[in-house]
Amino acid sequence: MSNDKSKLLEERKKRYLTALDCGKPDRVPIGLTVSEFMAKVAGFTLQEIYYDLDKNLKALAKFVEEYEVDTFFSAPSLWWAASHDAVGAVYLKFAGRELEPNTQFQYVEGEFMLPEDYDAFIENPTEWILTTYLPRIHKEFAEPGSYRASVALIKGAGARAMELQLTQQGTAKIMEEYGVVPAGTGLTKAPFDTLGDALRGLKGIMMDMRKVPDKLKAAMEVLVPHNIFYALATAGGDTEFPAFMPLHRGAYPFLNPRQWDEFYWPTLKKVIEGLWEKGKRTYFFAEGDWTPYLERIAELPDKSIVFHVDMTDIDKAKKILGGRFCLKGNIPNSLLAVGKPEEVRDYVKRLIDEYAADGGFVIDAAAVVQGDAKEENIRAVIETVLLYGKY
Amino acid sequence: MDNELVKAIAELDEGKTLYLVRKRIEAGATPLEIVEDCRRGVEIVGQNYSNGTYFLSDLVMSEEILRKVMEILEPHFPPIEKSGGAKVIIGTIEGDIHDLGKNIVAYMLRSAGFDVIDLGVDVEPKAFVDAIVKTGARIVGISVLLTFAIGAIKKTVDLIKKAGLRDKVKIIIGGYPVNEKVLEYTGADYFENDVMKAVELVKKISAGEA
């Protein structure tokens, strides 16, 4: 690593981590959570970044080279589509296969876990996933133990190992070459979301709260240590940066407040506290509106989360969480997509003046930035922070 | 009217609702009477959602209960194809496959007596135009969750214009990313993020008040 870049890396790391600790760094950090937008910057189609790991990493490199951000989220594609093709995933659709070459990937929700699966899941989730769930969501595993399924399992596991290794090496190199730090390391979920996203599905889990509440609760308890472990394992043991936790079904108005208190919050809190005990902060990526739950979220230990503001009332977030937890956000993605640079500048300036003035704030979009954002608007964000964001 | 049934639905008591429906069929009630009580129950569910007592999970539950009621009633009467109410075309825009919001709006509109033509998800702009031509509907609802799909809404509005149908229909856009700015960009007539407000808006448009 050149001296310049290593100095830059240290500077940015200090800036970001100071803000996460609710302090005032030299200026407001820029932590844009950007995904498919990077493909556009690098001139690749979405098909190319989904299928070609090199191009996926090149797009990230191009982005951090051209845009002066302090942190990066990940390479633009979270998936290596080829590995999903190898095992015949039924829950994902990719550009170039089912979709047009420049179309965002799609997740097809289904009730892949049935209410009668709860007992086996609670007994041994990993075994249930391997023997029952994987065959349901992958055409190639449809007959476990068959020649075809065994070959697919080898291919899938091999591809995943390859993908993780290349991505890890690739991002480490990008950190060195461009002096940019990761916004987070590792990934985990709220136990309710683990079940509600890809296992029971939205409708399934909503029924379960009324029909099999005890089983749902038992399954979530089983997931608590698993989700803590998963965050640390996927972070390679790192505790310097927060674990990314995309939060879904807990947003208002999915659950009524009783359900939120009874089903969503207890195990989520345990995961966050469990991680914090191990020195790992959680990047609470609160997609949607979380305003009604801010008081409950404030029960968490100081600094144990970075609270991402999407549609949550930012004034209330600042009032209830500010000073104890770093806030991150919240430039509307529609503004980045259809607004003018002047409007973006005004918005960012207001964020800096009203919410970042006493530290503990990171500038970001409200949600993950996809290909619809205009390049001039992303530049406007950065220019505004560089101009007005000094403390 | 069976107040007990209305109440059971309003309180999202699945067991009691289904029990009462079966009991009333045995007692000789017509399916239409039962459907009317269900509609009243769903109306209360909608009010409870509007005033913040009920949440999305409660709407999903009421939809599930209604689906089961219809399963019981189906053998007793030929399903009504046309409700006789004003036609509303609804669909999730091309490039987006999220259907929760769209389904709930469609369900609440049907409960309110509208004839909903649901085009499904990932609906291409031309399909909206074709549906307008085919059904003569005057109200079009376009649902969107992903911001990058907003461009396809603009395309749809432009295509409706090009087909000479713009003056004939009111276009409502709904979903997470819509706001004044998106409305302006797409050229639609109204935007709404709240399901019950959307139903009220459709009622107003249909009555010529909006």
Torsion, CA A145, CA A147, CA A149, CA A154, rounded to 10: 110
DSSP string, A206-237: HHHHHH-HHHHHHHHHHHHHHHHHHHHHHTTT
**Which CATH number is associated with domain A3-33+183-388?**
3.20.20.210
Reading the block at residue B21, the tokens are 């429906």
Shortest CA gap B28–chain A (Å) = 30
Smallest CA-to-CA distance from A260 within A190, A200, A194 is with A190
Predicted confidence (pLDDT) at residue B10 exceeds the cutoff of 90: yes
Q: Give the C-alpha separation, B82 to A306, whole Å.
A: 52
Residue A135: is it exposed, middle or buried by C-beta count within 10 angstroms (0-12/13-18/19+)?
middle
- Under the banding of pLDDT at 50, 70 and 90, the label for residue B77 is low
Smallest CA-to-CA distance from A217 within A121, A112, A282 is with A121
Strands A92-93 and A106-107: antiparallel
Read off the DSSP letter of residue A262: I
A216 neighbourhood in chain B, CB within 8 Å: none
Cβ contact, residue pair B64, A202, below 8 Å: no
Predicted confidence (pLDDT) at residue B112 exceeds the cutoff of 90: no
Task: Determine the pLDDT at residue B194.
Answer: 84
CB of A287 within 8 A of CB of A246?
yes
- Please tell me the CATH superfamily of domain B3-76, with its number: Methionine synthase domain (1.10.1240.10)
A121-169 pLDDT per residue, tens: 999 999 999 999 999 999 999 998 999 999 999 999 999 999 989 998 9
Reading the block at residue A162, the tokens are 């390859």
Lowest-confidence pick of A143-152, B29-38, B87-96: B29-38
Lowest-confidence pick of A42-51, A263-272, B22-31, B76-85: B76-85
**Chain A 173-212, residues with CB within 8 Å of chain B CB atoms:** 202-203, 206-207, 209-210
Over pLDDT 90: what percentage of chain A?
Answer: 90
Cβ contact, residue pair A288, B179, below 8 Å: no
Q: Which of B57, B146, B178 is facing A209, going by the closest CB pair?
A: B57
- Under the banding of pLDDT at 50, 70 and 90, the label for residue B83 is low
Q: Which of A108, A203, A367 is facing B60, going by the closest CB pair?
A: A203
Task: Determine the pLDDT at residue A96.
Answer: 86
Task: Determine the pLDDT at residue B1.
Answer: 67
Most trustworthy range by pLDDT among A158-162, A269-273, A334-338, B24-28 = A269-273
CATH topology of domain B87-206: Rossmann fold (3.40.50)
CB of A152 within 8 A of CB of A87?
yes
Shortest CA gap B64–chain A (Å) = 9
B147 neighbourhood in chain A, CB within 8 Å: 333-334, 337, 367, 370, 372
- Name which residue leads in pLDDT, A173 or A3: A173
Max Cα distance, chain A (Å): 63
A54-109 pLDDT per residue, tens: 999 999 999 999 999 999 999 999 889 999 999 999 999 998 888 888 888 888 88
**What are the percentages of helix, strand and coil residues in chain A, rounded to 5?**
55, 10, 30
Q: Which of A36, A104, A256 is facing B58, going by the closest CB pair?
A: A256
Q: Give the C-alpha separation, A73 to A33, whole Å.
A: 5
Predicted confidence (pLDDT) at residue B47 exceeds the cutoff of 90: no
Name the E strands within chain A.
Answer: 71-72, 92-93, 106-107, 181-182, 243-247, 282-286, 305-309, 326-331, 361-365
Q: Give the C-alpha separation, B200 to B210, whole Å.
A: 10
Q: Give the C-alpha separation, A268 to A245, whole Å.
A: 10
Predicted confidence (pLDDT) at residue B124 exceeds the cutoff of 80: yes
Predicted confidence (pLDDT) at residue A274 exceeds the cutoff of 80: yes
B132-141 pLDDT per residue, tens: 999 999 999 9
The pTM (predicted TM-score) of the whole model is 0.88
Task: Determine the pLDDT at residue B193.
Answer: 86
- Under the banding of pLDDT at 50, 70 and 90, the label for residue A116 is very high
Residue with tokens 């407040």: A257
Averaged pLDDT, A219-233: 97
Read off the DSSP letter of residue A117: G
Smallest CA-to-CA distance from A282 within A20, A63, A22 is with A20
B13 neighbourhood in chain A, CB within 8 Å: none
Task: Determine the pLDDT at residue A363.
Answer: 98
Cβ contact, residue pair A338, B100, below 8 Å: no
Shortest CA gap A182–chain B (Å) = 25
Model ipTM value: 0.80
Averaged pLDDT, B51-63: 88
H or E segment and range at residue B203: helix B195-206
Q: How far is CA A242 from CA A31, B96, B143, B188, in A?
A: 13, 31, 34, 41
Predicted confidence (pLDDT) at residue B93 exceeds the cutoff of 80: yes
Task: Determine the pLDDT at residue A174.
Answer: 93
Name, in order, each residue with C-beta under 8 angstroms of A87's C-beta and a sequence gap of 6 or more: A138, A139, A140, A141, A152, A153, A155, A156
Q: At what angle do helices B14-26 and B31-50 cross, to 10 degrees?
A: 160
Predicted confidence (pLDDT) at residue B36 exceeds the cutoff of 70: yes
Predicted confidence (pLDDT) at residue B13 exceeds the cutoff of 80: yes
Reading the block at residue B14, the tokens are 């699945």
DSSP string, A65-86: HHS--SEE---S-SS-HHHHHH
The sign one gets for the Cα dihedral A339, A37, A383, A15 is positive
The domains of chain B are located at: 3-76, 87-206
Averaged pLDDT, A8-31: 97
Predicted confidence (pLDDT) at residue B32 exceeds the cutoff of 80: no
Average model confidence (pLDDT) across chain A: 95
Over pLDDT 90: what percentage of chain B?
Answer: 53
A361-389 pLDDT per residue, tens: 999 999 999 999 999 999 999 999 999 99
Chain B residue whose CA is closest to A206? B57
Backbone conformation region of residue A286, classed left if phi is above 0, alpha if psi is from -120 to 50, else beta: beta
Task: Determine the pLDDT at residue A192.
Answer: 98
Reading the block at residue A373, the tokens are 């954002």
Predicted confidence (pLDDT) at residue A2 exceeds the cutoff of 70: no
Predicted confidence (pLDDT) at residue B81 exceeds the cutoff of 60: no
H or E segment and range at residue A49: helix A46-51
Predicted confidence (pLDDT) at residue A186 exceeds the cutoff of 90: yes
Read off the DSSP letter of residue A242: P
Q: Give the C-alpha separation, B62 to B13, whole Å.
A: 9
Task: Determine the pLDDT at residue A1.
Answer: 57
Averaged pLDDT, A338-350: 97
B182 neighbourhood in chain A, CB within 8 Å: 334, 338
B160-193 pLDDT per residue, tens: 999 999 999 999 999 888 999 999 999 999 999 8
Task: Determine the pLDDT at residue A42.
Answer: 97
A206 neighbourhood in chain B, CB within 8 Å: 56-57, 60-61
Cβ contact, residue pair A254, B95, below 8 Å: no
A332 neighbourhood in chain B, CB within 8 Å: 177, 179
